Amino acid sequence: MLFVQKIKWYLHLIRFSHTIFAMPFALLGTAIAYSHTPEKFSFEKLIYIILCMFFARTAAMAFNRYLDKDIDKLNPRTKNREIPSNKVKPIEALILTILSSILFSVFSYLLNPLCFYLSPIALMVILGYSYTKRFTWLCHLILGLGLALAPIGSYIAITGNIHPIIIIIGVSVLFWVSGFDIIYALQDEEFDKAHQLYSIPAFLGKKKSIYLARLLHFLSGALLFWIYIQYSLGIIYLIGWLVFSVLLIYEHYLVTPKDISKIPFAFGNLNGWAGLIFGTFGIIDVLIK
């Protein structure tokens, strides 16, 4: 029972359920890549891509929790996380980071040489994000960049090159993630100010931060719609985009400068469903075409 409980703590430490944010876009990138190459579908490569996603996220989250252990202990919102509450030891999180980084590199190598050569850069971004709140309010954009690498990396894994459509999808993901991370950070605005931590809410204040998040989400949706027009995608993609957009609009209806109480639901549930539905519909549309 102790072993099972430990596994549960590890999965909660890395927020395994939040894999849903990037995974649909990684799989969409894979589907688009196969539509751009005569190469036959490889189930083996698909598994490698999924494992790369899993180990990259595990490394990033474990390192973030390790690096922020002292900050989390002081923050009333995070003091019950696994490391501050002694459910997971800091050294365990660090070992998990190292092992996951190695496995990410191994499976990148199995995909193709270019993925392997680029894997240190990807690790630099996703691990380096954890330091950024200590010196720049652009930390939200760095997080967005880390998740934006998911569709780009999966495209490279299949084709060995890059294409404008996947860059645009990546930028859209960057704006989407940055927007909802700003919303999430509203919960710690006063804590960040008191402890000299950098975040957009601490820098701009609640009202301007929400407006900026709305702008970023508008740009994210606009880019995905531009892809629909530019690359003549089908009605299924369009439906997915509509659902994605409606869920983001609803998120901003719930979170306002006067009421941020619904952030946990808006952050986790609405964004999770938005990414999952858009990614699924996008993949179906690409496969049908």
Q: How far apart are CA 26 and CA 97, in angstroms?
A: 21
Give the pLDDT of residue 16: 67
Give the model confidence (pLDDT) of 169-220 as tens digits: 999 999 999 999 999 999 999 999 999 999 999 999 999 999 999 999 999 9
Give the pLDDT of residue 28: 97
- Could you give all domains of the chain from N- to C-terminal order, each with its CATH number? 22-288 (1.10.357.140)
DSSP secondary structure letters along 135-164: T-TTHHHHHHHHHHHHHHHHHHHHHSS--H
Q: How far apart are CA 6 and CA 128, in angstroms?
A: 27
In the three-class reduction of DSSP (H, G, I as helix; E, B as strand; rest coil), residue 14 is classed as coil
Give the model confidence (pLDDT) of 18-40 as tens digits: 677 889 999 999 999 999 999 89
Give the pLDDT of residue 59: 96
Give the model confidence (pLDDT) of 97-108 as tens digits: 999 999 999 999
Quick one: pLDDT band at residue 159, thresholds 50, 70, 90?
Answer: very high
At which residue do the structure tokens 């820098």 appear? 203
Distant-in-sequence, close-in-space partners of 186: CB < 8 Å, separation ≥ 6: 201, 206, 209, 210, 255, 260, 263
Give the pLDDT of residue 54: 93
Q: Kindly tell me if the per-residue pLDDT of 2 is higher than 70.
A: no
Helix (H) or strand (E) holding 254: helix 235-254
Q: Kindly tell me if the per-residue pLDDT of 41 is higher than 80.
A: yes
> Across the chain, which distance is largest between two alpha carbons, in Å?
56
Mean pLDDT calculated for residue range 251-255? 96
Mean pLDDT calculated for residue range 218-234? 96
Mean pLDDT calculated for residue range 255-274? 92
Mean pLDDT calculated for residue range 233-259? 96
Q: How far apart are CA 64 and CA 86, in angstroms?
A: 16
